[in-house]
Amino acid sequence: MLVRTDSLTKRYGGFTALDGCSLGVPTGESFGLLGPNGAGKTTLLRLLLGYIRPTSGSAVVAGCDAVADPLGVRRRTAYLPGEARLFRRMTGHGVLDFFAALRRDCRRAAAVAVADRLGLDCDRQVARMSTGMRQKLALAVVLATDAPLVILDEPTANLDPTARAEVLDLVREAKRAGRTVMFSSHVLSEVEAVCDRVVILRAGRLVHDERIDRIRRGHRITARLAAPFAGVPAALADRVRATATGGGRVVLEADDSLAGLLGWLATLPVEEMQVEPVGLAAVYDRFHRPAAAESRA
Protein backbone atom coordinates (compact mmCIF):
# COMPACT_ATOMS: atom_id res chain seq x y z
CA MET A 1 0.00 0.00 0.00
CA LEU A 2 1.37 3.43 -0.90
CA VAL A 3 -1.08 5.19 1.40
CA ARG A 4 -2.52 3.74 4.57
CA THR A 5 -4.53 5.38 7.30
CA ASP A 6 -5.56 3.71 10.51
CA SER A 7 -8.46 5.11 12.56
CA LEU A 8 -7.41 8.59 11.48
CA THR A 9 -9.37 11.18 13.43
CA LYS A 10 -9.29 14.97 13.56
CA ARG A 11 -11.36 16.97 16.02
CA TYR A 12 -11.58 20.73 16.45
CA GLY A 13 -13.03 21.21 19.91
CA GLY A 14 -16.42 19.56 19.79
CA PHE A 15 -16.45 19.26 16.00
CA THR A 16 -15.19 16.06 14.40
CA ALA A 17 -13.85 16.76 10.92
CA LEU A 18 -12.66 13.20 10.31
CA ASP A 19 -13.75 10.23 12.37
CA GLY A 20 -11.80 6.97 12.51
CA CYS A 21 -10.90 6.82 8.82
CA SER A 22 -9.08 3.62 7.85
CA LEU A 23 -8.19 3.05 4.23
CA GLY A 24 -5.43 1.84 1.98
CA VAL A 25 -4.42 2.94 -1.50
CA PRO A 26 -2.25 0.47 -3.43
CA THR A 27 0.60 1.67 -5.62
CA GLY A 28 -0.55 2.58 -9.11
CA GLU A 29 -4.21 2.95 -8.21
CA SER A 30 -6.32 5.91 -9.21
CA PHE A 31 -8.35 6.59 -6.10
CA GLY A 32 -11.45 8.80 -5.93
CA LEU A 33 -12.58 10.68 -2.87
CA LEU A 34 -16.20 11.77 -2.82
CA GLY A 35 -18.38 13.65 -0.38
CA PRO A 36 -20.19 16.94 -0.03
CA ASN A 37 -18.56 20.07 1.40
CA GLY A 38 -17.50 19.43 4.99
CA ALA A 39 -17.50 15.65 4.61
CA GLY A 40 -13.80 15.50 5.54
CA LYS A 41 -12.10 15.03 2.15
CA THR A 42 -9.73 17.98 2.44
CA THR A 43 -9.09 17.21 6.12
CA LEU A 44 -8.03 13.69 5.13
CA LEU A 45 -5.66 15.00 2.44
CA ARG A 46 -4.20 17.66 4.76
CA LEU A 47 -3.61 15.02 7.44
CA LEU A 48 -1.76 12.87 4.91
CA LEU A 49 0.52 15.79 4.03
CA GLY A 50 1.17 16.87 7.62
CA TYR A 51 -0.47 20.29 7.37
CA ILE A 52 -2.55 19.32 10.37
CA ARG A 53 -1.93 16.77 13.13
CA PRO A 54 -4.37 13.98 13.84
CA THR A 55 -6.22 13.88 17.14
CA SER A 56 -5.73 10.12 17.02
CA GLY A 57 -4.87 7.41 14.53
CA SER A 58 -2.08 7.38 12.00
CA ALA A 59 -1.33 8.00 8.35
CA VAL A 60 1.58 6.54 6.41
CA VAL A 61 2.56 7.53 2.86
CA ALA A 62 5.23 5.54 1.04
CA GLY A 63 6.53 4.28 4.37
CA CYS A 64 6.73 7.78 5.89
CA ASP A 65 4.60 8.67 8.88
CA ALA A 66 2.68 11.89 8.21
CA VAL A 67 3.41 13.26 11.72
CA ALA A 68 6.96 12.04 12.29
CA ASP A 69 8.23 12.56 8.74
CA PRO A 70 6.04 15.01 6.80
CA LEU A 71 9.03 16.02 4.68
CA GLY A 72 9.45 12.41 3.57
CA VAL A 73 5.76 12.34 2.65
CA ARG A 74 6.03 15.51 0.59
CA ARG A 75 9.16 14.28 -1.18
CA ARG A 76 7.01 11.51 -2.56
CA THR A 77 3.88 13.55 -3.16
CA ALA A 78 2.69 16.20 -5.60
CA TYR A 79 -0.28 18.04 -4.10
CA LEU A 80 -2.75 20.40 -5.68
CA PRO A 81 -4.74 22.18 -2.96
CA GLY A 82 -8.45 22.78 -3.36
CA GLU A 83 -7.78 26.46 -3.68
CA ALA A 84 -4.32 26.92 -5.09
CA ARG A 85 -3.11 30.48 -4.53
CA LEU A 86 0.11 31.66 -6.08
CA PHE A 87 2.31 34.72 -5.81
CA ARG A 88 0.35 37.54 -7.37
CA ARG A 89 3.34 39.67 -8.31
CA MET A 90 5.08 36.91 -10.23
CA THR A 91 4.43 36.02 -13.83
CA GLY A 92 3.42 32.48 -14.77
CA HIS A 93 7.01 31.78 -15.79
CA GLY A 94 8.22 33.24 -12.47
CA VAL A 95 5.98 30.81 -10.59
CA LEU A 96 7.27 27.86 -12.63
CA ASP A 97 10.87 28.99 -11.98
CA PHE A 98 10.15 29.28 -8.27
CA PHE A 99 8.70 25.80 -7.90
CA ALA A 100 11.35 24.26 -10.16
CA ALA A 101 13.94 25.73 -7.77
CA LEU A 102 11.97 24.69 -4.68
CA ARG A 103 11.63 21.01 -5.53
CA ARG A 104 14.20 19.03 -7.43
CA ASP A 105 11.68 16.72 -9.08
CA CYS A 106 9.70 19.59 -10.62
CA ARG A 107 10.95 19.81 -14.20
CA ARG A 108 10.46 23.26 -15.65
CA ALA A 109 10.24 22.07 -19.23
CA ALA A 110 7.54 19.56 -18.25
CA ALA A 111 5.64 22.31 -16.40
CA VAL A 112 5.75 24.55 -19.48
CA ALA A 113 4.52 21.61 -21.59
CA VAL A 114 1.56 21.05 -19.22
CA ALA A 115 0.79 24.78 -19.24
CA ASP A 116 0.83 24.73 -23.05
CA ARG A 117 -1.51 21.75 -23.14
CA LEU A 118 -3.88 23.62 -20.85
CA GLY A 119 -3.69 26.70 -23.08
CA LEU A 120 -2.11 28.94 -20.45
CA ASP A 121 -0.21 32.13 -21.23
CA CYS A 122 2.68 32.04 -18.74
CA ASP A 123 3.90 35.53 -19.64
CA ARG A 124 0.97 37.02 -17.78
CA GLN A 125 1.29 38.21 -14.18
CA VAL A 126 -0.59 35.98 -11.72
CA ALA A 127 -2.56 39.00 -10.42
CA ARG A 128 -3.93 39.45 -13.95
CA MET A 129 -4.93 35.82 -14.38
CA SER A 130 -8.47 34.55 -13.96
CA THR A 131 -9.22 31.91 -11.29
CA GLY A 132 -9.20 29.23 -13.96
CA MET A 133 -5.84 30.37 -15.33
CA ARG A 134 -4.33 30.26 -11.84
CA GLN A 135 -5.71 26.76 -11.44
CA LYS A 136 -4.02 25.75 -14.71
CA LEU A 137 -0.74 27.25 -13.51
CA ALA A 138 -0.94 25.32 -10.24
CA LEU A 139 -1.74 22.14 -12.18
CA ALA A 140 1.32 22.73 -14.38
CA VAL A 141 3.47 22.92 -11.24
CA VAL A 142 1.96 19.80 -9.68
CA LEU A 143 1.81 17.60 -12.77
CA ALA A 144 5.39 18.40 -13.78
CA THR A 145 6.87 16.46 -10.86
CA ASP A 146 7.96 12.84 -10.76
CA ALA A 147 6.43 12.20 -7.34
CA PRO A 148 4.99 8.68 -7.09
CA LEU A 149 1.81 9.98 -5.42
CA VAL A 150 -0.29 12.73 -6.97
CA ILE A 151 -3.01 14.23 -4.76
CA LEU A 152 -5.49 16.45 -6.57
CA ASP A 153 -8.13 18.27 -4.55
CA GLU A 154 -10.86 19.37 -6.96
CA PRO A 155 -8.43 19.82 -9.86
CA THR A 156 -11.03 20.75 -12.46
CA ALA A 157 -12.83 23.41 -10.42
CA ASN A 158 -13.01 26.70 -12.37
CA LEU A 159 -11.75 25.12 -15.60
CA ASP A 160 -13.36 25.31 -19.04
CA PRO A 161 -14.54 22.01 -20.61
CA THR A 162 -11.47 21.74 -22.86
CA ALA A 163 -9.07 22.16 -19.97
CA ARG A 164 -11.13 19.72 -17.87
CA ALA A 165 -10.76 17.06 -20.53
CA GLU A 166 -7.02 17.80 -20.74
CA VAL A 167 -6.65 17.45 -16.96
CA LEU A 168 -8.44 14.10 -17.01
CA ASP A 169 -6.09 12.98 -19.80
CA LEU A 170 -3.11 14.10 -17.70
CA VAL A 171 -4.44 12.10 -14.75
CA ARG A 172 -4.80 9.02 -16.96
CA GLU A 173 -1.24 9.55 -18.24
CA ALA A 174 0.05 9.79 -14.67
CA LYS A 175 -1.68 6.52 -13.87
CA ARG A 176 -0.29 4.86 -17.00
CA ALA A 177 3.16 5.99 -15.90
CA GLY A 178 2.65 3.93 -12.74
CA ARG A 179 1.90 6.83 -10.42
CA THR A 180 -0.76 6.66 -7.75
CA VAL A 181 -3.45 9.32 -7.96
CA MET A 182 -5.79 10.48 -5.21
CA PHE A 183 -8.54 12.48 -6.85
CA SER A 184 -11.02 14.46 -4.78
CA SER A 185 -13.92 15.97 -6.65
CA HIS A 186 -17.59 16.87 -6.61
CA VAL A 187 -17.94 15.96 -10.27
CA LEU A 188 -19.03 12.32 -10.19
CA SER A 189 -18.61 11.75 -13.91
CA GLU A 190 -14.93 12.76 -13.69
CA VAL A 191 -14.27 10.43 -10.78
CA GLU A 192 -16.04 7.65 -12.67
CA ALA A 193 -13.95 8.43 -15.76
CA VAL A 194 -10.49 8.33 -14.21
CA CYS A 195 -10.64 6.37 -10.96
CA ASP A 196 -10.22 2.67 -10.25
CA ARG A 197 -11.81 2.90 -6.85
CA VAL A 198 -13.93 5.38 -4.95
CA VAL A 199 -14.60 6.04 -1.29
CA ILE A 200 -17.46 8.15 -0.04
CA LEU A 201 -17.22 10.27 3.08
CA ARG A 202 -20.17 11.55 5.05
CA ALA A 203 -19.85 13.84 8.09
CA GLY A 204 -16.23 12.80 8.59
CA ARG A 205 -16.86 9.06 8.34
CA LEU A 206 -15.88 6.75 5.52
CA VAL A 207 -19.21 5.19 4.58
CA HIS A 208 -18.52 3.43 1.31
CA ASP A 209 -15.57 1.92 -0.54
CA GLU A 210 -16.05 0.31 -3.91
CA ARG A 211 -14.25 -0.36 -7.16
CA ILE A 212 -15.50 1.65 -10.12
CA ASP A 213 -15.57 -1.37 -12.46
CA ARG A 214 -17.85 -3.09 -9.97
CA ILE A 215 -20.12 -0.05 -9.93
CA ARG A 216 -20.12 -0.07 -13.73
CA ARG A 217 -21.10 -3.74 -13.79
CA GLY A 218 -23.91 -3.19 -11.32
CA HIS A 219 -27.52 -2.93 -12.45
CA ARG A 220 -30.70 -1.59 -10.98
CA ILE A 221 -33.91 -3.45 -11.73
CA THR A 222 -37.15 -1.62 -11.04
CA ALA A 223 -40.19 -3.85 -11.35
CA ARG A 224 -43.93 -3.69 -10.68
CA LEU A 225 -45.21 -7.04 -9.48
CA ALA A 226 -48.68 -8.55 -9.66
CA ALA A 227 -48.10 -10.30 -6.32
CA PRO A 228 -46.20 -9.38 -3.10
CA PHE A 229 -42.43 -9.63 -3.35
CA ALA A 230 -41.24 -12.78 -1.62
CA GLY A 231 -37.65 -11.64 -1.11
CA VAL A 232 -34.33 -12.46 -2.70
CA PRO A 233 -33.52 -16.19 -2.74
CA ALA A 234 -30.73 -17.15 -0.37
CA ALA A 235 -28.60 -18.37 -3.27
CA LEU A 236 -28.54 -14.85 -4.75
CA ALA A 237 -28.43 -12.85 -1.52
CA ASP A 238 -24.72 -12.03 -1.89
CA ARG A 239 -25.26 -10.57 -5.37
CA VAL A 240 -28.66 -8.90 -5.21
CA ARG A 241 -30.32 -6.68 -2.64
CA ALA A 242 -33.74 -5.10 -2.56
CA THR A 243 -33.26 -1.39 -1.85
CA ALA A 244 -36.95 -0.42 -1.91
CA THR A 245 -40.15 -2.39 -1.80
CA GLY A 246 -43.80 -1.62 -1.30
CA GLY A 247 -46.96 -0.86 -3.23
CA GLY A 248 -46.33 -3.76 -5.54
CA ARG A 249 -43.04 -2.24 -6.57
CA VAL A 250 -39.54 -3.56 -5.93
CA VAL A 251 -36.13 -2.06 -6.64
CA LEU A 252 -33.27 -4.52 -6.85
CA GLU A 253 -29.59 -3.74 -7.17
CA ALA A 254 -27.30 -6.36 -8.59
CA ASP A 255 -23.60 -5.94 -7.94
CA ASP A 256 -22.50 -7.86 -10.97
CA SER A 257 -23.60 -9.08 -14.35
CA LEU A 258 -27.25 -9.93 -14.85
CA ALA A 259 -26.37 -13.40 -16.11
CA GLY A 260 -27.53 -15.86 -13.50
CA LEU A 261 -30.28 -13.53 -12.27
CA LEU A 262 -32.42 -13.68 -15.37
CA GLY A 263 -33.75 -17.14 -14.56
CA TRP A 264 -34.95 -15.95 -11.14
CA LEU A 265 -36.36 -12.70 -12.55
CA ALA A 266 -38.38 -14.74 -15.08
CA THR A 267 -40.14 -16.52 -12.22
CA LEU A 268 -41.38 -13.22 -10.68
CA PRO A 269 -44.93 -12.06 -11.49
CA VAL A 270 -43.64 -8.98 -13.34
CA GLU A 271 -46.06 -6.46 -14.86
CA GLU A 272 -43.42 -3.88 -15.79
CA MET A 273 -39.63 -3.96 -15.53
CA GLN A 274 -36.82 -1.49 -16.17
CA VAL A 275 -33.12 -2.43 -16.10
CA GLU A 276 -30.40 0.24 -16.01
CA PRO A 277 -26.73 0.55 -14.96
CA VAL A 278 -26.34 1.68 -11.34
CA GLY A 279 -23.63 4.32 -11.93
CA LEU A 280 -21.66 6.35 -9.39
CA ALA A 281 -24.39 8.97 -9.02
CA ALA A 282 -26.82 6.39 -7.68
CA VAL A 283 -24.23 5.06 -5.23
CA TYR A 284 -23.43 8.60 -4.07
CA ASP A 285 -27.11 9.47 -3.67
CA ARG A 286 -27.59 6.38 -1.54
CA PHE A 287 -25.47 8.10 1.14
CA HIS A 288 -25.99 11.78 0.56
CA ARG A 289 -29.39 12.16 -1.07
CA PRO A 290 -31.41 9.14 0.02
CA ALA A 291 -34.62 10.90 -1.03
CA ALA A 292 -33.21 11.46 -4.51
CA ALA A 293 -32.04 7.86 -4.68
CA GLU A 294 -35.53 6.78 -3.75
CA SER A 295 -37.20 8.97 -6.35
CA ARG A 296 -34.64 7.93 -8.96
CA ALA A 297 -35.68 4.35 -8.17
Partner 1 sequence: MMWSTAIWKRTWGDQRGLVLALGALWAAFPWIYLGLSAQIPMSDFQMLLRLIPEDWQRISGVPLAEVATPAGRVALAFVDPVIVLAATVWGITRGSDAVSGQLERGTLEMVLAAPVSRAAVFVTQAIAVTTGAAVLCGILLASVCTAVAFGPWAGLVEPARFVPAVANVFGLMVGLAGITAAVSAADNHRWRTIGILCGFYVVSLLAKLVGRLSDAFGWVGWLSMFGVYEPQRLVGGTVASWSLLARYDGVLLGLGILGYVVGAMIFSRRDLPAPL
By the rule CB under 8 A, 49 interacts with partner 1: yes
By the rule CB under 8 A, 174 interacts with partner 1: no
* Binding segment (CB under 8 A) for partner 1, from list 25-33, 71-79, 109-117, 221-229: 71-79
Toward partner 1, which CB reaches closer, 74 or 197? Answer: 74
Instruction: Show the CA angle centred on residue 136, arms to residues 73 and 158, nearest 5°.
Output: 105
Residue 144 CB partners (closer than 8 Å, separation 6+): 96, 100, 106, 107, 108, 110, 111, 113, 114
By the rule CB under 8 A, 90 interacts with partner 1: yes
CA dist 59 and 44 (Å) reads 9
* Chosen residue from 34, 66, 86, 168 binding partner 1 by CB under 8 A: 86
Minimum distance from residue 244 beta carbon to partner 1 (Å): 38
- Going residue by residue from 127 to 156, which x/- string records binding to partner 1, judged by CB under 8 A? -----------x--xx--------------
Give the closest residue to 116 by CA, choosing from 163, 52, 70: 163
By the rule CB under 8 A, 77 interacts with partner 1: yes
Toward partner 1, which CB reaches closer, 71 or 266? Answer: 71
Q: Are 26 and 1 in contact (CB under 8 A)?
A: yes
* Binding segment (CB under 8 A) for partner 1, from list 27-35, 48-56, 194-202, 271-279: 48-56
Q: How far apart are the first and last CA of the chain?
A: 37
* Chosen residue from 4, 11, 75, 239 binding partner 1 by CB under 8 A: 75
CA dist 41 and 153 (Å) reads 8
Q: What are phi and psi of 172, to 5 degrees?
A: -60, -40
CA dist 132 and 158 (Å) reads 5
- Which residues are at the interface with partner 1 (CB under 8 A)? 42, 46, 49, 51-53, 71, 74-75, 77-90, 98-99, 101-103, 106, 138, 141-142
